[in-house]
Amino acid sequence: MPTPHDVIFSALADPTRRGIFERLCRGGEQTVGGLTALAGVSQPAVSKHLGVLKKAGLVLDRHEGRQTHYTARRQALAPLVDWTRQMTEFWESRFDDLDDLLKRMDQ
Amino acid sequence: MPTPHDVIFSALADPTRRGIFERLCRGGEQTVGGLTALAGVSQPAVSKHLGVLKKAGLVLDRHEGRQTHYTARRQALAPLVDWTRQMTEFWESRFDDLDDLLKRMDQ
DNA sequence: CTAATATATAACTGCGTGGTTATGGGTTAA
DNA sequence: TTAACCCATAACCACGCAGTTATATATTAG
């Protein structure tokens, strides 16, 4: 039973796949061909990565003629933000002494 | 050449390993035995996971007698926060029309 | 209609990795 | 000193997955 965190973390763990997602975040909507050009892997590999990202809810696809345009769903990163905030919140709630907190940040 | 993002993402991708890190974040310093008790895997497996987390800079170890105490280095999550902020910042800078932005959040 | 293009899928492969058991090295207890 | 304990490492295994090539499907171009 994969949790939402599982899905997002594992989807973004692979460097190639994360690179594709980053390109979509920066460059906006792009076709598979455009993504393949700079991905450093074959077109089928890119299609598979896009499939994983889509299943994880990180991208949307739009078919137009014989090409497929993909866009990043940045809101899908919300669980990631929540998770990191949870981890760091436990931190802050544990040490209310600011000095102690700063000392621990330095180590 | 693994980037800092690579290291953190791949270290946190595995559910068991991420669970161990979460326990350290919530519960503070804990021994290998304590972590093993609730990890659902063998002690050597836990030790290996802790080794990966340590190499990623996500935990610190402290030897005391015959047991090893581990603590979470939450500051090591900073690259993760930076990365998500980068991805979402590109978003906001692209659409300065708030309505357009909200519409896209709904899809 | 035919050829070329764009993408997805199938089938296969190699390797990384998470798991195990067995063992070693160091530390406390008897 | 000997035994029990804690942890790390070694050696091995099984499986998942990222990559490939080949092919199917669909759409545009000639």
Instruction: Provide, in whole angstroms, the distance separating residue A16's CA from nucleotide D27's C1'.
Output: 29
Domain boundaries defined on chain A: 4-106
3-state class (DSSP) for residue B27? helix
Residue A101 has pLDDT above 80, yes or no: no
Beta bridge partners of residue A62, listed in sequence order: A69
pLDDT computed for residue A44 by the predictor:
98
Nucleotides in D strand less than 7 A from protein CB: 5-11, 17-22, 26-28
Q: Class assignment of domain A4-106?
A: mainly alpha
pLDDT digits (tens, 9 = 90+) for B2-29: 788 999 999 999 999 999 999 999 999 9
> Measured between CA atoms, how close is B24 to chain A, in angstroms?
9
**How far does the CA of residue A44 sit from the closest CA of chain B (Å)?**
23
Cβ(A105)–Cβ(B98) under 8 Å? no
| Contact yes or no for A91 and B74 at CB 8 A | yes
pLDDT score, position A84: 95
Q: What is the CA radius of gyration of chain A?
A: 18
The separation, in Å, between residue B33 CA and nucleotide D4 C1' comes to 15
Cα–Cα distance, A2 to B34 (Å, whole number): 25
Q: Does B6 touch chain A (CB under 8 A)?
A: yes
pLDDT digits (tens, 9 = 90+) for A57-100: 999 999 999 999 999 999 999 999 999 999 988 666 554 444 44
